[in-house]
Structure 1
Amino acid sequence: MPTPWTAVMQLVEEGKIDLDVDVNTYLKNFKIPDTYPGQPVTMRHLLTHTAGFEDTSLRMTWGDVESLISIQEYCAENIPARIYPPGRLSLYSNYGATLAAVVVEDVSGVPFDQYLQSRIFTPLGMDQTNLRQDLPPEFASRLTKGYKFAHSENLPAEDYILTVGPAGSISSTAPDMAKFLIAHLQNGTYGNATILLPETANLMHSWAFSVDPRVSGMCLGFYEQYYNGRRTIGHGGDTDTFHSELCLLPDEQAGFFVSSNSAGGRGVRDELFAAFMDHYYPGEPVVLPEPDPSASARLQQYAGTYEMNRHNYARFERYIGLPSPITITATLEGTLRMVSSDGTVEYIEGESGIFFPADGSRPVKGNIVFHTAPDGSVEYFAYTNVPVMVYSRLPWFMTADFQDNLKTAAAIILGTVLLWPLLFLFRHTHAIPEPFNPKTARIARWCSGIAALILIMFVYILLPWITGNEGILGTYIQTREIPGTLTAVLTVPVIAAILAIATVAFAVLAWKEKYWTIPHRVHYTIIAIALVAMLWWVHVNRLWAFCL
């Protein structure tokens, strides 16, 4: 919800925060690394989700209220990697929202939950709204539970605590949220209370950034969507079991708020919003152009595998949280076919390079557009009503199919090191003399053999075991502790990498010094290449102990 951003804009209004100044100017207890010299993260970047932070779920949830760390501690200890220069692309960040709350604390000198209470909730009469994780008894007794459908019934889901409270931990009621909604519709005023001056509210509600002119924009804390030709601004909120949406139609002076408490509520939320808009603000019927079969060859430029850019890039979390790929192909009928975890959708190209669902539907997330790089290659696609992320096109060597095939092929090749002891036993059994080789040749085989076998063991035994162990992963994700078992498992490829470096050196030496026969040297060289390939797969997935 846009409450933290409203707090930021209050301090902007008072001249205490400059939207275009380095946030490090305001942070008292830690600093954001200068990853891109001369391109600092500013408050404007945080409000538009263009700071360039990778996504992370580490320590976003916590085991219990008693040991819950503060937002200051969370932000100081879990700074995500900056993967884009600020202002280049939108990438929704819960860390960024929480960091903005830390700035509010540092500038105002007031704990964030108290700031919201005194400057927003109390003035608006939102006496049933609270940000605290340890809710007072009068609130806790009326707090709804989240539900998940299992075994043919809805079962209460386990409650969890959020360390990123400002990004998604407000407990409220529909009447209270209506007050907040009306205050923004009325440019900062509700009843006798004023939480923002009109010029500040207008600035907050205005377009501020877009990844493409055809895509709706980010405002300062809100984001735009266009549905049935109407401009809306709003903000959603999602956990595993709670899904909410606050939406304003500024020109129509109308608003919409919905919240559900079940895992399947995301779809219900979108359907209810669409039904609301279709009933009160109906649009014109969608008129689609006819698909052009002759365009099929041209549409091939959009074909490929795409991946949502909102995920982790630099840590082990990448492997356990990588989003499902989206595959786009051009059909002979002149349409684009998108296959994702949500199903299959065909798109027809319209004006301005906008692709519409071929069935004539109007999905809340909008249509799709492709963005090209200066060299003309397709860089990413975006949904026209989802300004908070894009879907980057993957190079062929980063697709899941290639990665899986590479891993399998490398493992098969590495497994052939088992032929060496079998060959030794065969010679020993049949009294065949062992050809003379220097001690370094024997060491070379030991290095490559151990590296190959421990990598196979890591990939096919240890890694599935560790990623399937909820206790170990839960400790890693929800506490400050890094389990020793996890560290030990991810140290295996580090050891293999050291041995692989030695193997590559020995491969060069083997050809120089003419160890073994030529077929044996070729085999050893192939083993060295397979080790490098498997370790590249490990690196792509950040499966190193130093990436924890």
Structure 2
Amino acid sequence: MKNHETVFSKGYGLSDIENNHMMQPERTIMEWGSISKLFVWVAAMQMVEQAELDLNEDIQTYLPDDFLTKLSYDEPITMLHLMNHNSGFEENIFDLGFASADRVTSLEQGLQLAEPHQVYKPGQVVAYSNYSTSLAAYIIERITDEPFYEYVQKNILEPLNMKQTIIHPTFNGQENLLENKAKGYVLSSPEHFVESDWYYMSMYPSGGVNGTAEDLSIFANALLSKEGEISPLFTKEETLETLLSQSYSANEHVSGIAHGLWEYAGDSRGVTHGGNTTSFSSNLHLVPEEEFAVIVLTNQAGEMDINYGLTALLVGESEPQAAVEDLPNTEELEGSFLAARRPHHSFISLYFFLMPYQVKPIQENEIEINYAGFTANYVQTSPYVYEMSHGDTIFYPMKQLSFQVENGKVQQISTSISDYLPLPAGKTTPILNAYMVLAIVCVLYFLVAPLILVIKAIINKMKKRRSSQISIWHAVLVVCGTATLVNIIVLVIRMLSSYDRAYAEVAPQILLNGFFSVIALLSMAFMAWRWPKSRLLIIQKITYSITISMTVLLITLLLIWGFYG
């Protein structure tokens, strides 16, 4: 789009492989994913215009008493913190999205069910948060005294005549749009796509909007102001200007956040937002001063090259140039870091430690970033500020990095989307390596020990030997350890097959871990009680001691990595 006119609109490929339905920008309904968040921020600015909302007011003012129960800091959270994704909430992947519409609850219930812990002080760390956005939408519900989807329908979709867009999480009242909804796919191997589930959300303001590409272009047009004209979304010209202006940046030399949109350093300043669901991915990019926009909607999970690579070519990007002045040594930046956007109180946290964000000096003023097997090179353009020179498209949303360094150590790496932090105390690289070795030893023991018990039982039966009570409890201890490992393996497989799960789906397995551990502790207590009264051979004492040690180690590892809740 240029100067408020669509200059190119085209569908490629299939919206339904099985039935050979072609993509049609004016007709095919797609999941917009997190582009949906822009409706929340537009609604919030509409509330500001009406003096119903103060972006700097404590959000507790607008919420029911004791609505948030897991806050850790006295500092207030404001709407601006929610917009900037620096309210301090940890990531919680459970109960966000479902494969079935019948799992959807009200927005209020969804927020209460999926409430995360606050793990950072408000304003200090950017950690992209679906919960924050949905909480902002709930505040708008409280102000307007109507469901958020009804507010958006009346105050955004209808005024813009967006008839092919639905924000209701289950399409209620507009089921006819389902007839034109594309099927979503996951690329399983080159040229081979597997159909995936549609995405339903109780916290739908974060990513539940469905619509056509051409409807999204109408919305984009309303966010590109014409000189001297007021956007149809607002009553004041300055409201749109405020929405698109910078609201947070970690460094004056890097792009930041514009009230919920990400700033983009191209040939001209851009603001952008992408979206991903189980099987759809998208990108909306605005260049306000050029009255230019690019919209890409795909029915492929995790697509990056078109969404970001093509968009970058269209909006233009400048080549980073190292500054002439003396710049800090890149050697002090080397290390492993974790995304601030991660769970802290769940076994899912282990996943992030297995894929650290690694910084490696390459040469003077140049570093290499390695993350999840992808790499990119960055050039230092001003003190502790780096711009991407080349690399995988996965890094396109974070083309600029700002390092906060104190006493020669990196304290924080900031990007406009999410910050990265040093490995926490107690989980540094040497300690993590030690945990890995201990875990491997533990797993091997509880895989081999049951086989030895079976062989021993067969021999005892052949020789007609009776098992002692302490040996029976030892066998129970081994079985509990092995059963726990099997339970965890099944849990991991289930999570890898589909991360969009309700906590209720995994809770039985979490409880099983606790059950097996309680039985194991009782077994160890009984063995300790019987030990002095039993005439044990040296080999038995060694075997029992090893099993007890391995069980204690297993329980300790489960506690450390959150496998009990």
Calculate the TM-score normalised by the size of structure 1: 0.78
The equivalences for 1:302-341 within 5 A come to 302-319=333-350, 324-330=355-361, 336-341=367-372
Report what 1:182 is aligned to: 221
Are residues 1:366 and 2:399 paired?
yes
Alignment counterpart, residue 87 of structure 1, candidates 112, 117, 123 = 123
Alignment counterpart, residue 95 of structure 2, candidates 40, 53, 59 = 59
Alpha-carbon distance, 1:74 to partner:
0.3
**Aligned equivalents of 2:373, 2:126: Cα separation in 1:** 23
**Which region of structure 1 is more displaced relative to structure 2, 395-404 or 211-220?**
395-404
**Aligned equivalents of 2:94, 2:63: Cα separation in 1:** 22
Are residues 1:392 and 2:424 paired?
no
Report what 2:28 is aligned to: none
Alpha-carbon distance, 1:452 to partner:
6.0
Report what 2:202 is aligned to: 163
Are residues 1:542 and 2:562 paired?
yes
Query: Does the aligned pair in 2 maintain the 1:319–1:543 contact within 8 Å?
Result: no
Alpha-carbon distance, 1:23 to partner:
2.1
The 3-state SS of whatever aligns with 1:185 is coil
**Aligned equivalents of 2:227, 2:116: Cα separation in 1:** 33
Alignment counterpart, residue 343 of structure 1, candidates 356, 374, 378 = 374
Given residue 332 of structure 2, which amino acid in structure 1 is its aligned partner?
A: Q
* Percent of residue pairs bearing the same amino acid type: 21
Given residue 355 of structure 2, which amino acid in structure 1 is its aligned partner?
A: S
Given residue 250 of structure 1, which amino acid in structure 2 is its aligned partner?
A: P
Report what 1:465 is aligned to: 490
**Aligned equivalents of 1:159, 1:361: Cα separation in 2:** 28
Alpha-carbon distance, 1:181 to partner:
1.9
Report what 2:21 is aligned to: none
**Aligned equivalents of 1:177, 1:189: Cα separation in 2:** 23
Alpha-carbon distance, 1:10 to partner:
1.3
Report what 2:136 is aligned to: 100
Alpha-carbon distance, 1:407 to partner:
0.9
Are residues 1:121 and 2:121 paired?
no
Q: Kindly tell me: are residues 323 and 422 of structure 1, through their superposed partners in 2, closer, same or farther at Cα, counting changes over 3 Å?
A: closer
Alpha-carbon distance, 1:124 to partner:
2.0
Alignment counterpart, residue 249 of structure 1, candidates 269, 275, 287 = 287
Q: Kindly tell me: are residues 288 and 63 of structure 1, through their superposed partners in 2, closer, same or farther at Cα, counting changes over 3 Å?
A: closer
Report what 1:268 is aligned to: 306
Query: Does the aligned pair in 1 maintain the 2:281–2:297 contact within 8 Å?
Result: yes
Query: Does the aligned pair in 1 maintain the 2:70–2:115 contact within 8 Å?
Result: no
Alpha-carbon distance, 1:89 to partner:
0.4
For residues 335-359 of structure 1, give each alpha carbon's deviation from its aligned partner in whole angstroms, at most 9, with x where no partner exists: 5443332433444544312345565
Query: Does the aligned pair in 2 maintain the 1:98–1:164 contact within 8 Å?
Result: yes
Q: Kindly tell me: are residues 420 and 68 of structure 1, through their superposed partners in 2, closer, same or farther at Cα, counting changes over 3 Å?
A: closer
Alpha-carbon distance, 1:108 to partner:
0.4
Query: Does the aligned pair in 2 maintain the 1:335–1:346 contact within 8 Å?
Result: yes
Alpha-carbon distance, 1:289 to partner:
8.2
For residues 189-222 of structure 1, give each alpha carbon's deviation from its aligned partner in whole angstroms, at most 9, with x where no partner exists: 9788342522332222222223444442122122
Q: Kindly tell me: are residues 112 and 424 of structure 1, through their superposed partners in 2, closer, same or farther at Cα, counting changes over 3 Å?
A: closer
**Which region of structure 1 is more displaced relative to structure 2, 12-21 or 395-404?**
395-404
Q: Kindly tell me: are residues 494 and 197 of structure 1, through their superposed partners in 2, closer, same or farther at Cα, counting changes over 3 Å?
A: farther
Alpha-carbon distance, 1:107 to partner:
1.1
Query: Does the aligned pair in 2 maintain the 1:41–1:51 contact within 8 Å?
Result: yes
Query: Does the aligned pair in 2 maintain the 1:222–1:235 contact within 8 Å?
Result: yes
Greater length-normalized contact order (CA 8 Å, ≥ 6 residues apart): 2
For residues 66-87 of structure 1, give each alpha carbon's deviation from its aligned partner in whole angstroms, at most 9, with x where no partner exists: 4521111101121111111211
Report what 2:413 is aligned to: 381
CA RMSD in angstroms, aligned pairs only: 4.4
The 3-state SS of whatever aligns with 2:383 is helix
**Which region of structure 1 is more displaced relative to structure 2, 17-26 or 114-123?**
17-26
Are residues 1:489 and 2:512 paired?
yes
Alignment counterpart, residue 46 of structure 2, candidates 10, 21, 29 = 10
For residues 428-455 of structure 1, give each alpha carbon's deviation from its aligned partner in whole angstroms, at most 9, with x where no partner exists: x99xxxxxxxx9xx97x98887556533
Are residues 1:234 and 2:260 paired?
no
For residues 368-414 of structure 1, give each alpha carbon's deviation from its aligned partner in whole angstroms, at most 9, with x where no partner exists: 34322x454223334xxx41212222242587544321212345678
For residues 288-335 of structure 1, give each alpha carbon's deviation from its aligned partner in whole angstroms, at most 9, with x where no partner exists: 589x9xx9xx64433322222222221244356777223333458885
Given residue 455 of structure 1, which amino acid in structure 2 is its aligned partner?
A: G
For residues 33-85 of structure 1, give each alpha carbon's deviation from its aligned partner in whole angstroms, at most 9, with x where no partner exists: 26234223221211111111111221222243345211111011211111112
Q: Kindly tell me: are residues 500 and 81 of structure 1, through their superposed partners in 2, closer, same or farther at Cα, counting changes over 3 Å?
A: farther
Query: Does the aligned pair in 2 maintain the 1:71–1:164 contact within 8 Å?
Result: yes
Alpha-carbon distance, 1:243 to partner:
1.7
Report what 1:455 is aligned to: 481
Calculate the TM-score normalised by the size of structure 2: 0.76
For residues 146-199 of structure 1, give each alpha carbon's deviation from its aligned partner in whole angstroms, at most 9, with x where no partner exists: 223346434443323222211112122333222322222228997883425223
Q: Which runs of 5+ in 2 are unaligned?
A: 1-34
Q: Kindly tell me: are residues 117 and 190 of structure 1, through their superposed partners in 2, closer, same or farther at Cα, counting changes over 3 Å?
A: farther
Alpha-carbon distance, 1:31 to partner:
0.7
For residues 519-541 of structure 1, give each alpha carbon's deviation from its aligned partner in whole angstroms, at most 9, with x where no partner exists: 99999887766555433321232
Aligned residues: 517
Report what 1:208 is aligned to: 247
Q: Kindly tell me: are residues 331 and 256 of structure 1, through their superposed partners in 2, closer, same or farther at Cα, counting changes over 3 Å?
A: closer
Alpha-carbon distance, 1:117 to partner:
1.0
**Aligned equivalents of 1:114, 1:189: Cα separation in 2:** 31
**Aligned equivalents of 1:493, 1:415: Cα separation in 2:** 16
Q: Which runs of 5+ in 1 are unaligned?
A: 431-438
